[in-house]
Amino acid sequence: MTRRETVRAMKPTFAGHRAGQGLAALCALLLLTGCATTSGAGDANPDDPWEGFNRGVFAFNETLDRYALKPAAQGYRFVTPDPVQTGVGNFFSNLGEIGNTVNSLLQAKPGNAGIASGRFLINSTVGVFGVFDVATRMELTGREEDFGQTLATWGVGEGPYLVLPLLGPSTVRASAGLPVDWYTDPLTYVEEDKVRYGLRGLDVIDTRAGLLDQERLIRGDRYSFIRDSWLQRRRFEVNDGEMGDDPFAQDDFGFDDADFDDAFAE
């Protein structure tokens, strides 16, 4: 998967797919709250005051991934040619440009809004509904933006780290932005339930398939590794790279920006 596909897929557009499973998620939360512990946590992390609870939700997500999502992703990769997988990822990435445009405008970033809207128009037409990423070949690239980043621009504090059922790593601020991101996702407005859920499922499985090769790079305590990496990447995005070079673009350890984003499925 390309950089934009992987990063976009970890954004809150994933939340719409889970809207119908809210009751089951809440039940799981109630069960997990009673048994969550901080085993293996080591020194307390000030960014993660709810670590015991978060580890319980993390264990639930990891079990779901191990027995359902990961096998489906492996099967999808086995039967789907690489060009088709790329086209699928491009299609969903293109839909994300609408949210990028809206949030760029809300953050007073007209330049990035113009790029995002331009990418959407070009890829939706010349790129055949976004299947081909023509805009990137034209060197028209911008930053990913979501409503959590918009809230940060408006001065809302990050809040504690939070692991969400099914959705994975987040913060209080990022979680607060999920409903708005859901409403800016075009798939939300697909009227036919079977089509909408089918597209959501394809998006999730395609994303998971693109992350299969990255798991071997996770070292030590899986929970802590994913938490610290996700927070570092998220802060880089919120600050528009002002913290320096992208820590996950490529470094001496051979990581790229997909290496840690599989946390949504853990």
Q: Is the pLDDT of residue 21 over 50?
A: no
Neighbour-count burial of 256, counting CB atoms closer than 10 A to its CB (0-12 exposed, 13-18 middle, 19+ buried): middle
Rounded Cα gap, residues 10 and 170, in angstroms: 10
Give the domain extent around 226: 3-33+47-265
Question: Which residue stretches of 107-192 are H helix?
Answer: 110-125, 134-137, 147-153, 172-176, 178-183
Instruction: Decide if 41 is inside a domain.
Output: no
DSSP for 30-68 reads HHHHHH---TT--SPPTT-TTHHHHHHHHHHHHHHIIII
> How many C-beta atoms surround the C-beta of residue 20 within 10 A?
12
Of the candidates 183, 172, 236, 167, the residue with the CA atom closest to the CA atom of residue 22: 167
Q: How confident is the model at residue 225 (pLDDT cuts 50, 70, 90)?
A: very high
- Tell me if 63 is assigned to some domain: yes
Contact 131, 90 (CB under 8 A): yes
Residue 204 vs residues 49, 77, 89, 117: alpha-carbon distances, Å: 29, 13, 10, 24
pLDDT digits (tens, 9 = 90+) for 140-153: 999 999 999 999 99
- In this prediction, residue 218 carries a pLDDT of 84
Q: How many residues does the chain have?
A: 266
Residue at 38 is within a domain: no
Domain count, the chain: 1
pLDDT reported for residue 174: 97
Cα atoms in the 13 Å half-sphere on the side-chain side of 23: 1
The answer as to whether 42 is a domain residue is no
**Does 148 map to a domain?**
yes
**pLDDT interval class at 81 (50, 70, 90):** very high
Residue 248 lies in a domain: yes
Domain assignment present for residue 40? The answer is: no
Residue 199 domain-assigned? yes
pTM, full prediction? 0.74
Q: Give the range among 154-163, 175-184, 209-218 with minimum mean pLDDT.
A: 209-218
Angle (nearest 5°) at CA 256 between 57 and 207: 55
